[in-house]
Amino acid sequence: MEISCTPLSLDRRIEVDANFFLAQTTLTTGAGDSFVFLFTVFVLAVFVGFYVVWSVTPALHSP
């Protein structure tokens, strides 16, 4: 297997750099909308909170 070491044209180099930048940006931003992430955390917190509150014995709810 032989690897070619020919220099890239300016257009190809710009395309490669742009794709690399896009990939890095996508990876570092989490590739998602922050609202969706925060809404998912909120929904999970509602379910966990509901389960925790209603799992406590009734004796602990009364003074």
Residue at 47 is within a domain = yes
Residue at 24 is within a domain = no
Read off the pLDDT of residues 14-47 as tens digits, 9 standing for 90 and up: 777 777 777 777 666 555 677 887 888 999 999 9
Any idea which residue has 């710009």 for tokens?
14
Q: Containing domain of residue 52, as a range?
A: 33-63
Residue at 25 is within a domain = no
Q: What is the pTM of this model?
A: 0.43
CA dihedral of 21, 25, 28, 34, whole degrees rounded to 10: 180
Residue at 52 is within a domain = yes
Residue at 6 is within a domain = no
Residue at 43 is within a domain = yes
d(CA 53, CA 34): 28
**56: pLDDT strictly greater than 70:** yes
Total domains in the fold of the chain: 1
Residue at 22 is within a domain = no
